[in-house]
Amino acid sequence: MIQVGIIGGAGYTAGELIRLLINHPEANINFVYSTSNAGNAITKVHQDLLGSLDLKFTDTINPNVDVLFLCLGHGNSVKFLSNNTFSKNTKIIDLGNDFRLEKDKVFDGKTFVYGLPELQKGAIKKADYIANPGCFATAIQLALLPLANKGLLNDDVHVNAVTGATGAGTSLSETSHFPWRDNNFSYYKPFTHQHLGEINQSVKQLQNGFASEILFMPNRGNFSRGIFATVYTNFEGSLEKAKEIYKAFYKDAKFTFVSDDVLHLKQVVNTNKCLVHLHKHNNKLLITSIIDNLLKGASGQAIQNMNLMFGLEETTGLNLKSTYF
């Protein structure tokens, strides 16, 4: 069994990670580290897990676990790894943004591989350290990479994407307070969202000459989980040609699928899937991309990466049914 350690165990992504791991046939949770909850039962925080595990949070670590998941706030993974040492055999998967960019990928002799399986599965299989992609970044990249792979992103790309309330994390803020969020809608960080760096990096990995702008408008929705992204750009080919490009690019993908039908968010909530739909209007190609922000956008993709790193079938522990009704 793969012995797993989790750092920062009280948040939404950690809760989903624990839920997936306790049902994973090849993994065992060795410890869940949380200084603010040390000694408390994990089910006191993650109440949906009552009856599923009998484990307490701890403020001590086992440096010899096989894999370590970092579920810390952005910027805190570097601090944690600077103050704690693990076995040279311990693989690390960081769910934050500390190591996603090329300029940040090397830390303390460790080289982090960007963990988007649809982009670089081969590199992930050989990696010891993974930078798990961001949630918006996952949805938007999966909408764009087939075009980039063919060198067809030659104009500005317009993105409008809505995320659920869990995307803001468990810390309270004005915009996550229920009376504010309920029956409400707003944008934030227009054109400047932090995930743009990794999106541009991946696009240029496939289309080195990409010089246009990705104009991203992130929005807060009044639902709990999921991301619904609509992306459009100029495309001179036919809709049939676009579908051919996308279906060929994702023909071996285990969790990304091209739908001929219009999408809605409930199709992916509680799954590790990304669904993509294409629509052509005049010279514009509209790509819709939907994911669960906590699963394909975070913890599910982290487990997908773990499976690849340890030579397991990629879908192990991730055959989940959507909460369609």
3-class DSSP state for residue 133? Answer: coil
Name the nearest CA neighbour of 287 among 238, 246, 319, 253: 246
Around Cβ 84, how many Cβ atoms within 10 Å? 12
Residue with tokens 């988007």: 116
Q: What secondary structure, in 3-state letters, does 73-114 show?
A: CCCHHHHHHHHCCCCCCCEEEECCCCCCCHHHCEECCEECEE
One-letter amino acid of 169: G
Distance, in Å, from the CA atom of 65 to the CA atom of 91, rounded to the nearest integer, reads 8
Catalytic sites, residue numbers: 135
**Residue 47 DSSP class:** G
**What size, in residues, is the chain?**
325
Taking a C-beta distance cutoff of 8 angstroms, is the pair 27, 4 a contact?
yes
Non-local CB neighbours of 243 within 8 Å, separated by 6+ positions: 258, 260, 278
Distance, in Å, from the CA atom of 307 to the CA atom of 20, rounded to the nearest integer, reads 12
Distance, in Å, from the CA atom of 1 to the CA atom of 87, rounded to the nearest integer, reads 17
3-class DSSP state for residue 48? Answer: helix
Q: Counting runs of H as helices and runs of E as strands, what totals does the chain give? A: 9, 15
DSSP H helices, 150-275, are 178-181, 196-206, 239-249
